[in-house]
Structure 1
Amino acid sequence: MLASRTTLVLDAKTLIERLNPKIRGWRNYYGVKTAIKWLNKIDWYILLRFTIWWNKKRQERRHLSGIKDVRQMSSKLGLLKLAG
């Protein structure tokens, strides 16, 4: 979903602005305290897909290189989390 060719022209801030309403809706719908384990897994999946998108945008060969930097950048730009 995130790595399609049409989203590669977007910058990270625009993509995060598009994702945040969806994440907020999921959090409102699924945000029960008993589902925190599953919401953490979905947060991890969102971070992985965002990292793959970022690396494809930068034409990086390894899909998960720089995941630490992407995590910091996405939290600085305001990417919401489901579990927190």
Structure 2
Amino acid sequence: MNPIEDIITTIQTLFTKQPNTIYEVRIVHQRYANKVNIFFEYYKIGQARRSQQIARLDEAYRLQIPELAKQIHQATRLTVHTSVLLY
């Protein structure tokens, strides 16, 4: 399996439908560490957000973040946020 398939499998394992719970995936480029981190986030309405790191990819994936976000969304139907500046 490639890393993206592993990430999608991990997300599907963590995603348990609970009432009044919001699930999201966040992809963050750490500029100074030269890594791309992927987090699985969830929270119940009115409670604090919980975030769990599910992957840490090399700098080479930075330019693939939009495509990665699209693949994750298509496979899981979860909202995917990215906080990355592509320059």
Q: Greater relative contact order: 1 or 2 (C-alpha under 8 angstroms, separation 6 or more)?
A: 1
Structure showing the higher helix proportion among its residues = 1
| TM-score interval, normalised by the smaller of the two chains | 0.3 to 0.5
Higher strand share: 2
What is the TM-score normalised by the length of structure 1?
0.40
